[in-house]
């Protein structure tokens, strides 16, 4: 009896009589992953809302008499009349190096069956982009390992370069090859023991893709040894629209952690067309007024607030960078569509992939006329800038002349020379997937082209000759490559060694 008395006395002592403020509401309607809640008078925009069975939601519509919440996770256990309560918190995701090599969902929960993440830090999913003062101009290269891109539309650390084109023209391949090349450079830099070397960590966001495609991407990254530098955020097509809407912002927060801690990161959004469609779906269910192509009026802000978060920061503001490669899918090559024009106007240039070139076997199918980098040669090492300066103009002239020359039987010598040079450059730029080329090797190949070493080789054999020269330089011409790699310049001594190596290769190839 005394033990019961003691227990009751203890409970009375521990009883708290303070008033607790909780804002509780009730679900009025529930449909398509969106709940309309009544009674949440003190709710904030983008606040986390707690539902029964550990289901979370985000307050997206603050109306006069109700709140529109998008729900995350499995909503099958919820029903109309259930309670909902505010948390006073913004949605946050785990960040840090613990996420490298892992596959997570839109809210940072592991999906790969490798156990808990053990991340010590978290950051809010939605954050304000760095202002003008903390930013620094982009002048450090981020090499993709793809010759057509690195020579004509170079990308710098902190830049936002759009990859745009029709379905199945190799957009994802360019992004994945860039990630593989970062891993290759990271391993080379770590092996060199250079104290000033800055590795690039990668985040790949898969939005609305088939699970089979995401699995294929993971397999490619694992086989090429790149997965240890990559975090994959996946919101597959089977996922609800809320997760597809949140995934890019979650991935961006993970990338921002590196930027703010003095490191360099690369983020790929694959793709933002599906992201806009998911947002349109949510907006229409929330009864928001629709505008052009049924997209809501703030669809531009949807992508601008995401892409503006990529930057290169000054030394006293973190000294890191976040480079973004958003992907947009066009319909029948129409770059003047609503979402494509939105993202073109937000980014610092675009790599446009043409379906016609792809079908002709010119891969990567980079269009010279429509591709541009607004950072330009500032994002190239000096040696590469010297040899690749004219190539875009030569290729553009070739495309123009090729269109006219099919009607002309009698061509003058200058036109023939220009057509010959252009045809060889086209062959030179053909490159297989998951096969990035180091910048010093690219410099050698471009130097050999500019110094007419490919002129005597048949156009059909140029691609084979390029591979042969690459193999030769990686084995017997290492000295010249190491000089280019260490100095980043093409000095007289380097050029002499380069000439003798290329001449030796040419004799063996002939």
Output the domain CATH number for residue 79: 2.40.30.20
CA 306 from chain centre, in angstroms, equals 12
Does 55 fall in a domain? yes
Strand partners, 321: 264, 312
Last residue of some domain: 35, 63, 89? Answer: 89
Last residue of some domain: 89, 117, 138? Answer: 89
Would you state the structure tokens that stand for residue 445, as one six-digit string? 């190949």
Q: By the 8 A CB rule, do 172 and 179 touch? A: no
Would you state the structure tokens that stand for residue 339, as one six-digit string? 């979402």
Same domain, 67 and 101: no
Would you state the structure tokens that stand for residue 453, as one six-digit string? 């070493």
Last residue of some domain: 326, 352, 377? Answer: 377
Would you state the structure tokens that stand for residue 371, as one six-digit string? 């591709």
d(CA 18, CA 14): 12
d(CA 159, CA 348): 6
CA 150 from chain centre, in angstroms, equals 16
Tokens 């029903």 belong to residue: 79
Same domain, 353 and 275: yes
d(CA 248, CA 267): 9
- Going 504 to 181 to 114 to 99, the CA torsion angle's sign is positive
Find all residues with CB under 8 Å of 322, minimum gap 6, and list them: 158, 252, 255, 256, 258, 259, 264, 265, 266, 267, 309, 310, 311
d(CA 382, CA 341): 33
Same domain, 105 and 194: yes
Same domain, 329 and 182: yes
Does 343 fall in a domain? yes
Does 265 fall in a domain? yes
Does 497 fall in a domain? yes
Compute CA distances 477 → 417, 435, 484, 501, whole Å: 30, 20, 12, 6
Using CA atoms of 97, 102, 106, 111 in order, give the dihedral in degrees to the nearest 10.
Answer: -150
Does 369 fall in a domain? yes
Q: By the 8 A CB rule, do 67 and 59 touch? A: yes
- Going 396 to 436 to 376 to 446, the CA torsion angle's sign is negative
Does 420 fall in a domain? yes
Same domain, 256 and 283: yes
Residue 109 annotated in active site: no
Tokens 């603050």 belong to residue: 62
Find all residues with CB under 8 Å of 150, minimum gap 6, and list them: 141, 143, 144, 380, 384, 388, 439, 442
The residue annotated as part of the active site, out of 85, 198, 288, 374, is 374
Helix, strand, coil shares of the chain as percentages rounded to 5? 45, 20, 35
CATH number of the domain within which 323 lies = 3.40.50.300
Strand partners, 71: 57
In angstroms, how far apart are the furthest CA atoms of the chain? 115
Q: By the 8 A CB rule, do 210 and 239 touch? A: no
Same domain, 407 and 359: no
d(CA 274, CA 327): 10
Same domain, 77 and 183: no
Same domain, 280 and 292: yes
Same domain, 345 and 361: yes
Does 16 fall in a domain? no
| Total number of domains constituting the chain | 3
d(CA 27, CA 40): 10
Same domain, 311 and 409: no
Which secondary-structure segment (H or E) carries 163? strand 162-165
Tell me the pLDDT of the chain (510 aa) as tens digits: 567 888 888 877 777 665 555 689 999 999 888 999 998 888 999 999 999 988 999 999 999 889 999 998 788 889 999 999 999 999 999 999 999 999 999 999 999 999 999 999 999 999 999 999 999 999 999 999 999 999 999 999 999 999 999 999 999 999 999 999 999 999 999 998 888 899 999 999 999 999 999 999 999 999 999 999 999 999 999 998 999 999 999 999 999 999 999 999 999 999 999 999 999 999 999 999 999 999 999 999 999 999 999 999 999 999 999 999 999 999 999 999 999 999 999 999 999 999 999 999 999 999 998 999 999 888 999 999 999 988 988 898 888 888 777 766 677 888 888 888 899 999 999 999 999 999 999 999 999 999 999 999 999 999 999 999 999 999 998 889 999 988 888 888 899 999 999 999 999 886
SS3 357: helix
d(CA 171, CA 365): 9
- For residue 68, the enclosing domain spans 24-89
Same domain, 76 and 100: no
Same domain, 153 and 52: no
CATH number of the domain within which 463 lies = 1.20.150.20
């Amino acid at each position: 009896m005394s033990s019961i008395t003691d227990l009751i006395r203890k409970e009375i002592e521990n009883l708290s009589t303070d008033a607790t403020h909780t804002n509780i509401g009730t679900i009025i309607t529930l449909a398509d992953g969106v709940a309309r809640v009544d009674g949440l008078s003190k709710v904030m925009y983008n606040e986390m809302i707690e539902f029964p069975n550990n289901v979370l939601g985000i307050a997206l519509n603050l109306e006069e008499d109700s709140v529109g919440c998008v729900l995350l996770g499995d909503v099958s256990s919820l029903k109309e009349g259930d309670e909902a309560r505010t948390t006073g918190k913004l949605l946050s995701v785990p960040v840090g190096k613990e996420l490298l090599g892992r596959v997570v969902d839109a809210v940072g929960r592991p999906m790969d069956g490798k156990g808990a993440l053990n991340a010590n830090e978290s950051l809010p999913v939605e954050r304000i982009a760095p202002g003008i003062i903390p930013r620094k101009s982009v002048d450090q290269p981020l090499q993709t390992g793809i010759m057509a891109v690195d020579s004509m539309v170079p990308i710098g650390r902190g830049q936002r370069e759009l990859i745009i084109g029709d379905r199945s023209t190799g957009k994802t391949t360019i992004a994945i090859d860039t990630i593989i090349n970062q891993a290759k450079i990271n391993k080379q830099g770590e092996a060199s023991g250079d104290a000033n070397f800055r590795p690039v960590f990668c985040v790949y966001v898969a939005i609305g893709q088939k699970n089979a495609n995401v699995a294929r991407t993971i397999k490619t990254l694992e086989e090429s040894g790149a997965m240890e530098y990559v975090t994959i955020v996946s919101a597959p097509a089977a996922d609800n629209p809320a997760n597809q809407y949140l995934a890019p912002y979650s991935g961006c927060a993970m990338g921002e952690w590196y930027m703010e801690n003095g490191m360099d990161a690369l983020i790929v959004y694959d793709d933002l067309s599906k992201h806009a469609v998911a947002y349109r779906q949510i907006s229409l269910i929330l009864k928001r007024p629709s505008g052009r192509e049924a997209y809501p009026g703030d669809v531009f802000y949807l992508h601008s607030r995401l892409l503006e978060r990529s930057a290169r920061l000054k030394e006293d503001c973190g000294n890191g960078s976040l480079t973004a490669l958003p992907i947009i899918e066009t319909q029948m090559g129409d770059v003047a569509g609503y979402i494509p024009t939105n993202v073109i106007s937000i980014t610092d240039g675009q790599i446009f992939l043409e379906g016609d070139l792809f079908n002709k076997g010119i891969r990567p199918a980079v269009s010279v006329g429509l591709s541009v980098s607004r950072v330009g040669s500032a994002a190239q090492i000096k040696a590469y800038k010297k040899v690749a300066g004219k190539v875009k103009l030569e290729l553009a002239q070739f495309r123009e002349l090729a269109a006219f020359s099919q009607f002309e039987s009698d061509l003058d010598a200058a036109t023939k020379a220009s057509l010959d040079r252009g045809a060889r450059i086209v062959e030179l730029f053909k490159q297989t997937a998951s096969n990035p080329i180091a910048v010093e090797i690219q410099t050698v190949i471009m130097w050999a082209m500019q110094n007419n070493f490919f002129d005597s080789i048949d156009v059909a054999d140029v691609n084979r000759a390029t591979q042969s020269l690459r193999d030769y330089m990686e084995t017997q011409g290492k000295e010249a490559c190491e000089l280019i790699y260490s100095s980043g310049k093409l000095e007289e001594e380097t050029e002499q060694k380069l000439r003798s190596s290329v001449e030796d290769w040419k004799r063996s190839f002939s």
